[in-house]
């Protein structure tokens, strides 16, 4: 395995291949095959996103993948931002289509014409839906599995509300969904409000979660947009209030993608391979029986597996022939499985198991009667360790800069910034870092590092 610290990029590519997450040899560039293990982990993330969304009153829908040029053209600004990145379908069989259709790059223009049919009066609001689908971008930059692809596994929530303030509260709900998700994923991240010139076209404002990747670059992993009335005016989405007066709705969206999995892999893994948080690990516990002449360790292991599965723990027993226990230990460590249980003849005779936690040194013994409790504790310790590591990353990889010259290193930087573009442009050109905007998760006030006027703490980094 490559050294992660010295060569993150190659380490990342190698681990995706070795751990069988994704296969990029598919003949369409930037469109990769989801292999079972990677897909299972992504499905676990989706499951969390579904539960959290439903808990907050956002219901799942599924829209068609094709969007007509007319639908897209309604929002001119939208189309202008995307036209060069779209895949177009122009023929059906041998026939030229009457109108070109795009593979959805995101679903505003697919959903909002329907919103204008669905929403009639205030009783129809709030309208809150989400979908988890593939979206398509004709990406011209260098592609990389999970981080930059052309077919993107995407979560998108879209809501409509009576007022600007109601929509603002929805952004607060999105933040809770994000925090809920990250309680499992444990990604070190900073919440930033994008500068006006870098927000989503058509948004009043955009808030993003930027994960801190190894090497100090950031990866945008979640975005929340307040649209105000910008889209409802172009798609004519109106409701009548109690007195029958007509108003445009206020809208929001929330987007996340398979980048979440890329961030989990990139951030938590080590030189032995993947490390998965227990909440999304396809296998939480692997049992490795050590062959013995005097004891049936395989049956013993199978019994333990049944016990744990009854408790809802995702568990498997590795009884493959032709591999030594040591080889299997390495294999499952590489796969990032949080807890390993070893069972040999000693364990059988003493009715116990030996436990090893992926993120903690050493092994521990536990009796069979305490099995479930000990496994749950081990999984919790594993997650706590990831949480601890994640907290350290912010301290180590995000530096506070007092002046522009201090921001030329390989880290991400916090610096006071007045909000003016001339100042951030100067920082960007002198340091080759992007301005991610004012930091909401670590707020503080001070003098702009460029002009000395009053400013807020902002974040600057190289981005993926």
- The token pair at 49 is 């996103």
Q: How far apart are CA 254 and CA 159, in angstroms?
A: 9
Closest CB to Zn ion among 339 and 423?
Answer: 423
Taking CB under 5 A as the binding criterion, the range among 141-149, 286-294, 332-340, 414-422 that sits at the site for Zn ion is: 414-422
Q: Whose Cβ is closer to Zn ion: residue 210's or residue 456's?
A: 456
Hey, which residues between 422 and 451 contact Zn ion (CB under 5 A)? Answer: 423, 448, 450-451
- Residue 232 φ/ψ region, left for φ over 0, alpha for ψ in the -120 to 50 degree band, beta for the rest: alpha
Specify the 3-state DSSP secondary structure of 89: strand
**Element of type H or E holding 109:** helix 108-118
CA 112, 113, 118, 120 dihedral sign is positive
The span from the CA of 389 to the CA of 208, in Å, is 22
Size of the chain in residues? 464
Segment contacting Zn ion (CB under 5 A): 13-21, 87-95, 211-219, 412-420? 412-420
Please, which residue, 237 or 418, has the CB nearer to Zn ion? Answer: 418
Q: In the complex with Zn ion, which residue's Cβ is closer, 381 or 406?
A: 406
For 143-146, which contacts have Cβ atoms below 8 Å and span 24 or more sequence positions?
A: 143/29, 143/30, 144/12, 144/13, 145/13, 145/16, 145/21, 145/22, 145/24, 145/32, 145/262, 146/16, 146/21, 146/22, 146/258, 146/259, 146/261, 146/262, 146/265
Q: How far is the CB of 401 from Zn ion (least distance, A)?
A: 14
Query: Among 171, 198, 202, 167, which Cα is nearest to 72's?
Result: 202
Query: Stretches 99-107, 303-311, 354-362, 411-419: which one binds Zn ion (CB under 5 A)?
Result: 411-419
Residue 33 to residues 19, 27, 172, 458, Cα–Cα distance (Å): 14, 10, 35, 38
Residue 439 Cβ vs Zn ion, minimum distance, rounded to whole Å: 16
Q: State the nearest-atom distance from the C-beta of 420 to Zn ion, in Å.
A: 5
SS3 386: helix
- Alpha-carbon distance of 125 to 92, in angstroms, equals 38
**Beta carbons of 211 and 463 less than 8 angstroms apart:** no
List all residues 6 or more positions away from 83 whose beta carbon is below 8 Å from its beta carbon: none
Closest separation between CB of residue 437 and Zn ion, Å?
14
Show the CA angle centred on residue 399, arms to residues 267 and 142, nearest 5°: 45
Q: Please, which residues have CB within 8 angstroms of residue 287's CB and are 6 or more apart in sequence? A: 301, 304, 305, 315, 316, 317, 318, 340, 341, 342, 343
Q: Does 44 bind Zn ion (CB under 5 A)?
A: no
Calpha distance 463→458 (Å, rounded): 15
8 A C-beta contact, residue 393 and residue 186: no
Residue with Cβ nearer Zn ion (21 or 450) = 450
Q: Find the binding residues for Zn ion in span 297-316 (CB under 5 A).
A: none
Q: Least distance to Zn ion from the beta carbon of 274, Å?
A: 43
Instruction: Give the shortest CB-47-to-Zn ion separation in angstroms.
Output: 45
438 contacts 415 by C-beta, under 8 angstroms: no
- CB 195, min distance to Zn ion, A: 12
Which residues from 314-353 bind Zn ion, rule CB under 5 A?
none
Complex with Zn ion: residue 281 or 450, whichever CB lies closer: 450
Rounded-to-integer distance, Cα 294 and Cα 114, Å: 69
Nearer to Zn ion, 418 or 458 (CB): 418
Q: How far is the CB of 192 from Zn ion (least distance, A)?
A: 17
Q: Which is nearer to Zn ion, 176 or 400 (CB)?
A: 400
Nearer residue to Zn ion within complex by CB, 78 or 193 = 193
Cβ 362 to Zn ion shortest distance, Å: 52
Taking CB under 5 A as the criterion, the residue among 305, 418, 436, 459 binding Zn ion is: 418
Nearer to Zn ion, 291 or 452 (CB): 452
Q: At its nearest, how many Å lie between Zn ion and the CB of residue 415? A: 10
Judged by CB under 5 A, the stretch of 161-169, 259-267, 274-282, 419-427 that binds Zn ion is 419-427
Q: Please, what is the minimum distance in Å from the beta carbon of residue 419 to Zn ion? A: 7
Count the residues of the shown chain that bind Zn ion, applying the rule CB under 5 A. Answer: 5
Nearer to Zn ion, 202 or 455 (CB): 455
Q: Using CB under 5 A as the criterion, which residues of the chain lie in contact with Zn ion when the complex forms? A: 418, 423, 448, 450-451
């Amino acid at each position: 395995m490559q050294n992660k610290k010295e060569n993150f990029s190659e380490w990342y590519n190698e681990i995706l291949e070795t751990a069988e997450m994704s296969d990029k040899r598919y003949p369409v560039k930037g469109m990769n095959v989801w292999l079972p293990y990677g897909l299972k982990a992504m499905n676990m993330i989706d499951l969390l996103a579904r539960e959290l969304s439903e808990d907050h009153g956002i219901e799942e829908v599924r829209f068609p993948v094709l969007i007509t040029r007319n639908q897209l053209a309604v929002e001119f600004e939208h189309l202008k931002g995307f036209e060069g990145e779209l895949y177009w379908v122009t023929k059906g069989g041998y026939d030229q289509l009457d109108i070109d259709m795009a593979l959805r790059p995101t679903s505003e223009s697919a959903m909002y014409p329907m919103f204008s049919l669905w929403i009639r009066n205030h009783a129809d609001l709030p309208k809150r839906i989400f979908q988890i689908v593939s979206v398509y971008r004709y990406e011209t930059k260098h592609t990389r599995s999970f981080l930059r692809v052309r077919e993107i596994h995407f979560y998108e929530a879209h809501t409509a509300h009576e007022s600007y303030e109601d929509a603002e509260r929805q952004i607060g709900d999105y933040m809770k969904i994000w925090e809920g998700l990250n309680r499992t994923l444990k990604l070190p991240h900073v919440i930033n409000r994008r500068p006006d010139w870098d927000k989503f076209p058509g948004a009043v404002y955009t808030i993003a979660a930027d994960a801190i990747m190894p090497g100090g670059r950031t990866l945008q992993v979640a975005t929340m947009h307040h649209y105000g009335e910008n889209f409802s005016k172009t798609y004519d989405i109106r409701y009548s209030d109690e007195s029958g007066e007509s108003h445009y709705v206020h809208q929001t969206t929330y987007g996340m993608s398979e980048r979440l999995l890329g961030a989990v892999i990139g951030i938590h893994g080590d030189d032995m391979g993947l490390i998965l948080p227990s909440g999304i690990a396809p296998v939480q516990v692997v049992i490795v029986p050590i062959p013995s002449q005097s004891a049936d360790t395989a049956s013993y292991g199978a019994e333990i597996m049944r016990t744990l599965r009854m408790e809802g723990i995702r568990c498997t027993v590795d009884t493959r022939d032709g591999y030594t226990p040591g080889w299997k230990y390495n294999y499952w460590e590489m796969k990032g499985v949080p807890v390993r249980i070893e069972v040999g003849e000693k364990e059988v005779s003493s009715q116990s198991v030996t436990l090893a936690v992926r993120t903690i040194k050493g092994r521990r013994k536990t009796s069979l009667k305490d099995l479930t409790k000990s496994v749950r504790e081990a999984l919790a310790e594993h997650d706590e360790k990831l949480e601890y590591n994640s907290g350290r990353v912010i301290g180590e990889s995000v530096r506070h800069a007092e002046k522009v010259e201090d921001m030329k290193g390989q880290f991400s930087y916090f610096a006071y910034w007045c909000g003016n573009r001339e100042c951030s442009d100067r920082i960007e050109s002198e340091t080759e870092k992007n301005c991610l905007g004012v930091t909401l998760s670590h707020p503080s006030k001070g003098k702009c590092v460029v002009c000395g006027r009053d400013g807020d703490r902002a974040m600057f980094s190289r981005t993926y």
